[in-house]
C-alpha cells in the first residue's frame, strides 16, 4: 500500500502584501499541527493575547517580527533563524511584523 507524500514550497505565493495574515495548514494529525503563517505588516489586535491550551514552537524563516510574552518588558525581536517554544497557557501576542517584506513563520502546535 502506498501513502500519499505531501510536498510543497514554504516560500510560494508570498510576493504581494496581504490584507490579513494567511495561515496554511501543512500537516495535522493526532500528535500536532504544522502551519505556515504569512504576515505582511500584521500584528495582534490591541489588547488581544493568545492563550492556547497547547504548546507552540515557532520558527521565523524570513522577514522579522516582535513577539511579546506577558510579563516581559519588551517584545522579543524575531529574525530569520530565530525560534521560540511557548508552553501552553503562556499568554503572548505579535506586536509587529515587517511591512516592507513578507514574514514567514513555521508554527508547530503540539497536542498533548
User: Residue 2: is its pLDDT beyond 60?
Assistant: no
**Domain-located, residue 17:** no
Any domain includes 78: yes
Cα angle 106, 89, 10 (rounded to 5 degrees) comes to: 5
Determine the Cα–Cα distance for residues 100 and 112; give it in Å rounded to an integer. Answer: 37
Q: Is residue 102 part of a domain?
A: yes
Domain count, the chain: 1
In a domain, 57, yes or no: yes
Cα(94)–Cα(13) distance, rounded to whole angstroms?
22
12 in any annotated domain: no
* CATH at 74: 2.60.120.10
User: Could you list the residue range(s) of the whole structural domain that residue 100 is in?
Assistant: 22-110
The pLDDT tens digits for 42-63 are 999 999 999 999 999 999 999 9
Residue 3's contacts (CB-CB under 8 Å, 6 or more residues apart) are none
d(C-alpha 33, C-alpha 78), whole Å: 21
Q: Determine the 3-state secondary structure of 39 from DSSP.
A: strand
- Domain assignment present for 10: no
Whether 107 shows a pLDDT value over 80: the answer reads: yes
Q: What is the pTM of this model?
A: 0.87
Domain assignment present for residue 69? The answer is: yes
Amino acid at each position: 500500500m502506498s501513502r500519499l507524500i505531501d510536498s510543497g514550497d514554504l516560500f510560494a505565493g508570498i510576493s504581494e502584501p496581504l490584507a490579513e495574515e494567511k495561515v496554511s495548514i501543512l500537516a495535522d494529525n493526532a500528535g500536532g499541527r504544522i502551519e505556515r503563517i504569512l504576515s505582511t505588516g500584521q500584528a495582534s489586535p490591541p489588547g488581544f493575547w493568545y492563550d492556547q491550551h497547547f504548546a507552540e514552537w515557532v520558527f521565523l524563516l524570513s522577514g522579522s517580527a516582535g513577539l511579546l510574552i506577558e510579563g516581559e518588558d519588551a517584545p522579543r525581536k524575531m529574525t530569520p533563524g530565530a525560534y521560540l517554544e511557548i508552553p501552553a497557557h503562556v499568554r503572548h501576542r505579535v506586536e509587529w511584523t515587517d511591512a516592507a517584506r513578507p514574514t514567514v513563520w513555521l508554527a508547530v502546535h503540539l497536542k498533548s
